[in-house]
Every structure is written in C-alpha cells, then in structure tokens.
Structure 1
C-alpha cells in the first residue's frame, strides 16, 4: 500500500510517522506552519521512551495523489469536505481516522471504498512538526472496518499495517458501532473547553450521554456498551517530557487559536439526531453553541462568561 496521510497533527503524525518507521511508503500532506518545519526538520515524535525524528516526505497539496493510493484522513471533521474535494477524480481508498461519525458519510458521497477507524491513541500536537504520544511500546488501538459494515481483506491489511506502526490494529466487522461509543466519550470535549474539569463537568457529561443514547435508540443505531477491554490492549499512558496527556483535541484547537472547533460533529451530531427523531438535546445544544462561539471569537478555554447558562443545566 502507498499511504497518503492528509493532516499532520496529533493522529496523522503518530500514525503516519509509525507507518513510515515500519518501512511503508508514506507521504504527509501538511499545511500552515507545520509544512516548512516538516520539510526542513522532519517529524518529531516524542514518547515516554524518548524522541525520534522521522524524515517523512511532506507535500503541500493532494496534487500528487495517485489512483490506488490509501488516503488516511486525519484532519478535524470540520475540514473533511475540503479535504475530500481536494481528492476529486482519483480512484483512492479513504480511511477516516477521525472523531465523530459524519466523516464516513461525506466520504461515501464521493468515493466507493471507505473505511472507518476507531482511534484510541493518546497524543498531542505540541508545536508545528512535533507530536507527543503518551503510550509505548503499544501506542494505541486502531480498529478499522469497511463502511457501512464489513471486515474484508483491505481492513485486515490496514489493521496489520497499523500494528506494524506501533498500535494494536484490529479488523472490525462493525467499526461504526465502536465509533458511536467513542462519540459518547467525546461529548465531554466541548464541556471542558467551556467550564473545565470537575464534578460539574462530569454531571453534564452524563446528561449529554443520556441524550445521545436516547437519540441512538430512536434512530435504531447500535453502539458498543463497553470500550474498556479495547483500552486494555495498549500500553499504560506515561508522561512525556514530564507532562501527562490531559487535554482533548478540542481544547488543543482553542489553545492554538485555530478559529474552528470540532463540536458541530460531536455534540452537534447528537443535536442533529435529536432534531431528526424528536428527542430533546438541551445539554448538547448548549455545548455546541458555546464552544463554537469560543472558537469563532478566539477565546481561550474556560473564558466565556456565558458558561453560566451551561452550568444551569447541571443536575
């Protein structure tokens, strides 16, 4: 397989770097400040066992993507459509290594061969070209399957490649069932950027998940009830350069002042299902609105005075 990793942030860097280290043909597509750093200095992966620099070929656009390539989407969900449109006209396999459950649908609108990846890989995009990965030697769990359902030869080959890259790669016959379960956990991301951690945030997360389960049930969508056994397949997280993995990818987006956040495809996915199936989702709707405003106004996490509205929804 020839891999093209579209997005060189935390997951794209960790997975793409691992595949390159294992001897696979890998190209990163990067943008912004990361592009010149990756080209001149390489990709720096920092793990509990030490740092390494990988000279992964890096380009600025999808112009060089060829028919037959495996394109791993590792961009945030709000950038998925633009990423897919940049690949128009190519006969490629799309692999969505992203949070949420909407990316695969967008990919299926445009490409025949689409695979979803359940990603449990604690990592952080620190600076341009620098990614911290907090588990070693097994850095995470990557379960991959055909979308909408199915385990086939390509899924098994991808799982094997992910294992070679340092993760526990698993071929899944129903990967979206796993991804919906992860979405339940990711609903806390937006809550944390608005009000931080603590008992209040946990209580709101429980309410947000209850809304989500009601929406899944109304829509007839199944989700894995327990993800714990999968988490036990990777190494225990350890500090990197003296710091542990604490903040979500949504928090990191606000820290970097990107102006966008993934909340529309996390809490917003539940709001969408609620509106389609007549299920009230007040907590998820409030989180979506407040977190999106914070990103748009370039506010740091926890700084929005209107968070009192969200706190009022806590039990």
Structure 2
C-alpha cells in the first residue's frame, strides 16, 4: 500500500515520516518552499532525543494513481476542497484533520472516506522541518469508516500506524471521538490570540461549556477527556525537544507562519452554526471565530491581543445577545 500524505506539515509530516521509518511506501505532497525543501534536502524530523533527515519522495502535483493508493489528507479544513480536487475520485481518503465537516465534504466527491481523530503534538514552522513532541509514541490516532463502521482497510491502516510509532485504533464510532476533539480544539483560537494570563482558564471553560451545551441539544455523542487520557495513558506525553520551542498548536502555528488563513470557521464556527440551528447563544465562540479570522487576514502575530481586551469583547457580545 502506498500512503500519499497531502499536507506534509506538523501532522501530515509526522504521520508520513513515521510510516516511512516503519518501512511503508510514502509520498509527501507539499507546496512552495516546503516542497522545495523536501525535494532538495528531505524531511528533517526532530523528536525528543533524536534528529533525522528522511529522504521521503515528495511532489507538488498529483501523480498517476495506483490500485493500492490511500490518500491521507492532513491539510487545514479550509483547504480541503482545493487540496483534493485534482485527485482521482476512486481513491480512498483518510481525513486526518481537526473539525467534523471534512468527512461530509469529501464524501460528496469520493466514494470511500475515513475519519481520523488526531491527537499529535507537533510543530511545523520552517520549510522541510517537522518537530514531533509526543513520546514514547508520537500520537494517538483513531480511524474508522465515515459515517461509521470499521472495514478491512481501516484495520490495515490502524495496524500500519501502530507498528510505526503511534497509538492507533480502528473504531466504528470515529466521529464521536472527533466531536470530543472538537470540544478541546475550541480553545485553539484563544491560545492563538492571547498569551496565557490570569483569566485564560475561565475563558477555556466558557468556550467548552458553550460547545458542550450545543452538542447535548443536538443529540451528538462525543468522547470525554477522561476517555482520551485513559487510552493515551503514558504512551503519548508532550516532551521538550532541545533547541525547539513549541509555541502553540495548529491555529497558533497558522498565525506564526502568517499563512493568511486559520481553521476557526471549522472549529468555533461549527459550534456557532449548530447554536444558530438549535437556537442556543454562542457568544464566546462567535468572538473567537471572528477575531481569529481577523488576525489571520491581517497577518497579526499570535498572542498579541491582551486577554483583557478579548474578555471584554466576549462579555460585550454575551450581554448584547448572540447574533
């Protein structure tokens, strides 16, 4: 089986590198300076206690399909359609992405779609370089057929990942895990906008409470942090890497790279959408969505909004009513 990883950044680069190290055939798909760095010098993978350059084949354009190809889509949600559009529609697609909309979007175009819930602490800020902070395993990955179920392919992918340095499980209710992950990801925008200060934890609680209330009203099942911790155990712990500072998660990294876009519409925006459908106010998520998008559009640096200002905007929206 050949794994074609579309979006070889923090998540995709780590998954591709680990599969390659495990003896699997891998092709990385990247763009611009990152692709040029991969093509000319390979992928530099930093982990706790090691640094290695891997000569993984890379491309910036689609390649002729093979019968044993599997696409692992690891782009941000806002890039899903553009990233997949050039690829043949009969190839199975694994959505290794945050949010819960990608699988449904991809299923409009591709016949075999798999969800992957990703817990993988990694960093990608420089072309050709990925730092994977998980130890002793690089991450925890749940995979299952979308909208539900487990088949032979999902079991094979989980087995390959488990042998390549991940906690990997084939699960029939993968979207329940992804909705649980969504609740945790609601704080991504908060982390990206403001530095941690007294009052940050209170906002984290408020944004998660909104998300939980909306999912409960909609009758959408979701995993809990306790379930995640029990499965992950001590197999995936966030560890420092000498010489590399992990500033923040995926949204923080989008602002740090001045990418011009951010995933807030598919994280906080998912809760805003459901809140509007079910008549539940979501002022915290609305403000975080709007401000994260503004920061990305104006290419403002991460952590540059005072927490007091962000809190005031949220309180103002809460007092006036979500709209």
Partner of 1:280: 281
**Residue 186 (str. 1) matches residue 185 (str. 2):** yes
Q: Distance in 2 between matches of 1:214 and 1:223?
A: 12
Partner of 1:122: 121
Report the CA distance between 1:85 and its aligned residue. 1.3
* 1:277-310 deviation digits (Å, cap 9, x = unpaired): 1111000000000010000001011334797254
Partner of 1:241: 242
Report the CA distance between 1:197 and its aligned residue. 1.6
Report the CA distance between 1:270 and its aligned residue. 0.5
Partner of 1:215: 214
Q: Give the number of equivalent residue pairs.
A: 314
Q: Distance in 1 between matches of 2:207 and 2:148?
A: 27
* 1:19-43 deviation digits (Å, cap 9, x = unpaired): 1111111101110111111011000
Partner of 2:81: 81
Q: Is the 8 A contact 2:193 2:303 kept in 1?
A: yes
Greater mean alpha carbon deviation, residues 242-251 or residues 74-83: 242-251
Report the CA distance between 1:97 and its aligned residue. 0.6
TM-score by length of 2: 0.92
Report the CA distance between 1:229 and its aligned residue. 1.1
**Residue 59 (str. 1) matches residue 44 (str. 2):** no
Partner of 1:297: 298
Report the CA distance between 1:243 and its aligned residue. 4.3
TM-score by length of 1: 0.94
* 1:193-238 deviation digits (Å, cap 9, x = unpaired): 2222234222112111111111112221100123211331523322
Q: Distance in 1 between matches of 2:42 and 2:246?
A: 23
Report the CA distance between 1:178 and its aligned residue. 0.6
CA RMSD of aligned residues (A): 1.8
Q: Distance in 2 between matches of 1:219 and 1:165?
A: 37
Q: Secondary structure at the match of 1:110?
A: coil
Q: Distance in 1 between matches of 2:294 and 2:146?
A: 32
Q: Is the 8 A contact 1:208 1:284 kept in 2?
A: yes
Partner of 2:32: 32
Q: Is the 8 A contact 1:145 1:172 kept in 2?
A: yes
Q: Is the 8 A contact 1:34 1:129 kept in 2?
A: yes
Residues 306, 164 of structure 1: alpha-carbon distance in 2 compared, 3 angstrom cutoff: closer
Partner of 1:142: 141
Q: Distance in 2 between matches of 1:261 and 1:7?
A: 15
Q: 4+ runs of 1 displaced by more than 6 Å?
A: none
Partner of 2:69: 69
Report the CA distance between 1:136 and its aligned residue. 3.0
Partner of 2:261: 260
Q: Is the 8 A contact 1:259 1:297 kept in 2?
A: yes
